Structures are given as C-alpha cells and as structure tokens.
C-alpha cells in the first residue's frame, strides 16, 4: 500500500519504518526541515533501539523516504497517518492545533479517496473534528479512522511489530477493510484487531495510559506507607503481583512517572471528564501523588544533609524519563536537579543517551555532564539514581565508595539492595524499602 505518515517523532518515525518493513511504500513527512534533512542524510534524530538498522534497510530498499512537502507525500497516498504532537494546552486539554493543521494540509493535497488515520493520542470527538476540517477543504471522498498507538519508547519497534492488540475506530466498512489489510502482517500470531466506533477507540488510549499511571501512583503510595510502617515495598509488590487479577507488571515504586504521554494524557482525561460535567477524582489524585513523588529524592537528600545544600555536590545517574530512550519530557530527573540547584548544590550527571537532549533543551550548562558513570561521582557528597539503565545495576561499589566524598546512595528505582550496600559501608535510601 502507499502510505504517508505526518510527523516524524517517536511514533511517526517508528510507524513509518515498520510499515515500510512490512512491504508498503512509505513517505514520512515533517514540517521540521532540520529533522528531515538529518533523516535524508541517514541520521536518526531520536534514540530508539533497533530503529536505525531497520530504517537504513528500508531507505536502501526504496520503500521509505522523507520529505517536508505535502504536495509530494499526499497525492499518491491511499492511507495517511497523522502522528504529530498533541501537547497539553494551558488548561490541561490536548492541543489539537497540529492535528487539525495536518488534516487541512492533507485535504489540500489529496487527489482521490483517502483513509486519514488519527495515530496521535487525541480526545474523544477528534475524529469528527478532523473530518470537519477535511470537509471544509475538499469534496473528495475520505474516511477518518482512529488508530491509537500503544508503543513504549525504548521498546517501540517490538511493540509496533508485535502489538498486543490493534484498535481501529471507524464508521465505514471500507475503512475497516483497508486497516485490516495494513495490519494483517503484524497480527499473524493471533493478537486481535479490535473494531469499534471512533469515540471508544479514542477513549481506549487515554484509559490505558490513565490506568497505567494509576498503578504507578498507587504503588508509590504503598511505598510511602511501607517507609512509615517498616515494610518492604518490593516484598509487597511480589506478594500482590502473584494474584492473577493484579498481575506482576507495572508495579514498581519509584520517583514518579514522566515522559510525553502519562502526564499529559492523565491531564487530558480529567479535562475531558470536566467538560462533560464529570469530576474524575481518582485521576486527580494520581496526578497529585505523582507531583509529590517526583520531589521525593530531593526530600530524602534534604532529610540527610539538611535544607542548605550550598557547597554540596551530587552525582545523578540517569536523566531520561526511563531507560532506553533519550526522551526527557517531564523527566523526574529535571525536578530533582532543579530542586538541588535551587538549594545551592551543584550536580554532575551521567546518562547513556540523554546528555545531548538535557544540555540542549532542559538543563543547559547549569550542571556538569560526565562521559562515564564513575566520572560523575568524583568528589560528590552522594549518588542519586534516577533512571534504571541496565548499566547502573551492578557497579563496582568499592570504586563508587572511593570516588564519593560521603558514601550515601539515594536509589530512586530500588535497583540496589539495602543490605548489600549497608554491609559495604554505604548509607542507603530507597523508595519504600
Ligand atoms: P514528537 O513530538 O516526537 O513528534 C511530533 C512531530 O510532529 C514533530 O517532529 C513535529 O515537527 C511534527 N509536526 C508537528 N506539526 C506538524 C504538521 N502540521 N505537519 C507535519 N509534521 C508536524 O511526538 P511523539 O512522541 O511521536 O507523539 C506523537 C503523538 O503520538 C502524540 O499524540 C503522543 O501522545 C502519541 N503517542 C506517543 C507515544 C510515545 O511514546 N512517544 C506513544 C503512543 C502515542
């Protein structure tokens, strides 16, 4: 099939590459000229494991190309995916400016019946708004489909190639059939393609992210009482996770969720509910708990060293909002580091992939960056672990101790064992254990 993907971010680039990999002819379009120039030169603007190899192969085989021109991408396309950003507006609702601008540009350049697919995460009612925007420009026939994306950054290729399910919201049989054909190669092992109306498809994506965020905030609250009653959240996690109704995944306590999706999607559901006269109390609490949790590491540091941190220096391991990505949107590391700087401390950070992103867009030169994890520790008063990259899991603790001025570890992801570290002479702080 001939496909166009609008927006070459984490979702668009992965989707475009994977559709090319399954034999389609794909054009990826972005209005960011610099991004497209880099892609045309064979450079990948984001870090996503496995993407580079797949993208190069498909470009080489002629199934994947990049452009900034709607006139080039749209006229031939049978299916056009909208995968642009939907950032939160000031009131928490999803900002649909980019989605609707893309819809109008598609309408201006389509030449025949086209299936226009909302891949971006959008509030209920957006498919109807997109249809209205297209109808305002062209009289050609089209269908608007809601096909939310469930990939996880850091495992995006695998998630896209082998989805647990594909959700398709549409109003016409023709559109359902086109989408079935397109996704057939990805569900050969029997995972379902779920057909539904567009409102249900749109809400499915928000409900999934809201449920996952709720599990995180719930476990963080359990961790916070563990601290107070002398229980170990890791044992409680195993204890409840073996109940099949609960399941063991996504139950880890930590320093709160971040990223481009959970924070904005939780806000957007609360806002959608309010617009329809409903107060979504649980999700308000989920958000509230998360905001407090993001500062917890800082509170632990202050509990240990006192509130005046001037002259203190801290090593931070992990800047990305989670491992295996360079994405720092809403990253807890930024909250912790900002709080440390405001209290007079200095920071040296290490991250395997996110340093460039941190320097360019989040922390600039206000902190130092190390090339290796051990280098960040030199002369620091303590180690603060924020992101659980695999390479942080088994450090040489004797070497860690030698580098640090005082042997204190603040483990924001519970990846170390208190007993082991205390035996080695460290003071250890975990999250509920
Ligand atoms: P992103 O910010 O990485 O990329 C969006 C891209 O769209 C940018 O490159 C931007 O330049 C481009 N763009 C904006 N307006 C455009 C226009 N009119 N025409 C062409 N290009 C345009 O965003 P992302 O993380 O890929 O997320 C995209 C959508 O997918 C969001 O709605 C998000 O909620 C959703 N989503 C994201 C993830 C994730 O893990 N990142 C997972 C599932 C769903």
Question: Which of 5, 9, 86 is the best mutation target for the ligand 1 pocket, counting ligand atoms within 8 Å of the beta carbon and taking the most?
Answer: 9
* Together in a domain, 346 and 245: no
- The domain tally of the chain equals 3
Q: How far is Cα 30 from Cα 94, in angstroms, rounded to an integer?
A: 20
Per-residue burial over 201-234, b if 16 or more Cβ lie within 10 Å, else e, is bbbbbbebbbebbbbbbbbbbbbbebbeeebbbb
pLDDT digits (tens, 9 = 90+) for 247-301: 999 999 999 999 999 999 999 999 999 999 999 999 999 999 999 999 999 999 9
Whole-model pTM? 0.95
Backbone φ, ψ for residue 389 (5° rounding): -60, 145
Encoded tokens for 19: 């559709």
Q: Is residue 284 located within the same domain as residue 301?
A: no
Query: Beta strands 166-169 and 193-196: pairing type?
Result: parallel
- The answer to whether residues 269 and 333 belong to one domain is no
Asked if 232 and 317 sit in the same domain, the reply is no
Q: Which pair of tokens denotes residue 207? A: 């409900």
Residue 112 has what pLDDT? 97
Distance in Å from the first CA to the final CA of the chain:
53
Q: Residues 129, 27: one domain?
A: yes
Do 343 and 417 belong together in one domain? yes
Asked if 28 is an active-site residue, the reply is no
Tell me if residue 41 falls in helix, strand or coil: coil
**CB 429, CB 300: distance < 8 Å:** yes
User: Could you say which of 196, 221, 248 is where a domain stops?
Assistant: 196
Q: What distance in Å separates the CA atoms of residue 179 and residue 171, rounded to the nearest whole number? A: 12
The span from the CA of 11 to the CA of 119, in Å, is 8
| 309 and 287, same domain (yes or no) | no
* 324/217 same-domain check: no
Q: What is the pLDDT of residues 159-194, one digit of tens each?
A: 999 999 999 999 999 999 999 999 999 999 999 999
Write the CATH number for 239.
1.10.1040.10
Collapse the DSSP code of 392 into the 3-class scheme (helix H, G, I; strand E, B; otherwise coil) and give the result: helix
Q: Are both 44 and 182 inside the same structural domain?
A: yes
* In a shared domain, residues 285 and 403: no
Write down the mean pLDDT value for the chain: 97
Cβ proximity of 192 and 166 under 8 Å: yes
Among protein residues, the one whose CA lies closest to atom 22 of ligand 1: 7
Q: Please indicate whether residue 123, judged by its CB atom, sits closer than 6 Å to ligand 1.
A: no
Block residue for tokens 């509130």: 307
* Domain match, 148 and 231 both: no
Are 409 and 382 a contacting pair, CB within 8 Å? Answer: yes
Tell me the residue range of the domain where 92 lies: 2-196
Ligand 1 mean position, distance from CA 330 (Å): 15
Instruction: Output the domain CATH number for residue 400.
Output: 3.40.50.720
Distance CA 266, CA 108 (A): 34
Are residues 148 and 30 both part of a single domain? yes
pLDDT band at 400 (very low <50, low <70, confident <90, very high): very high
Q: What is the pLDDT of residues 340-369, one digit of tens each?
A: 999 999 999 999 999 999 999 999 999 999
- Range 383-410 average pLDDT: 97
The domain boundary, picked from 239, 257, 292, lies at 292
Residue that finishes a domain, picked among 292, 314, 330: 292
């Amino acid at each position: 099939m001939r496909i166009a993907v609008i927006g070459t971010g984490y979702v668009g680039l992965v989707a475009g590459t994977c559709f090319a990999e399954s034999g389609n002819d794909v054009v990826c379009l972005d209005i960011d000229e610099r991004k497209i120039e880099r892609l045309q030169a064979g450079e990948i603007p984001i870090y996503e494991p496995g993407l580079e190899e797949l993208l190069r192969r498909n470009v080489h085989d002629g199934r994947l190309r990049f452009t900034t021109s709607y006139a080039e991408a749209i006229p031939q396309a049978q299916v056009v995916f909208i995968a642009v950003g939907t950032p939160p507006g000031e009131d928490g609702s999803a900002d649909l400016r980019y989605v609707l601008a893309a819809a109008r540009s598609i309408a201006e350049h389509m030449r025949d019946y086209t299936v226009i697919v909302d891949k971006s995460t959008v509030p209920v009612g957006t498919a109807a708004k997109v249809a209205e925007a297209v109808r305002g420009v062209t009289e050609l026939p089209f269908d608007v489909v809601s096909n939310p994306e469930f990939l996880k950054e850091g495992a995006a290729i695998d998630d896209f190639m082998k989805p647990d399910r594909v959700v398709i919201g549409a109003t016409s049989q023709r559109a359902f059939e086109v989408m079935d054909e397109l996704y057939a190669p990805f569900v050969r092992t029997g995972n379902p393609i779920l057909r539904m109306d567009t409102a249900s498809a749109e809400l499915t994506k928000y409900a999934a992210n809201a449920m996952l965020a709720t599990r995180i905030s719930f476990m963080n609250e359990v961790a916070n009482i563990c601290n107070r009653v002398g229980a170990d959240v890791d044992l409680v996690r195993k204890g409840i996770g073996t109940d099949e109704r609960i399941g063991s995944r996504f139950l880890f306590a930590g320093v709160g969720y971040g990223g481009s999706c959970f924070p904005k999607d939780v806000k957007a559901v609360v806002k959608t509910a309010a617009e329809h006269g409903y107060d979504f109390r649980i999700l308000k609490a989920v958000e509230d708990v998360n905001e407090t949790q993001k500062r917890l590491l800082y509170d632990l540091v202050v509990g240990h060293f006192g509130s005046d941190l001037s002259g203190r220096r801290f090593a931070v391991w992990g800047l990305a909002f989670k491992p295996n990505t360079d994405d720092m949107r809403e990253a807890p590391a930024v909250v912790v580091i900002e709080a440390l700087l405001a209290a007079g401390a200095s920071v040296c950070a290490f991250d395997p992939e996110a340093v460039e992103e941190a320097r360019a867009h989040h922390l600039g030169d206000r902190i130092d960056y190390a090339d290796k994890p051990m280098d960040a520790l030199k002369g620091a008063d303590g180690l603060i672990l924020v992101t659980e990259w695999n390479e942080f899991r088994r450090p040489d603790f004797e070497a860690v101790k030698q580098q640090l001025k005082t042997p204190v570890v603040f483990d924001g992801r519970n990846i170390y064992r208190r007993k082991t570290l205390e035996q080695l002479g460290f003071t250890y702080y975990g999250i509920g254990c």
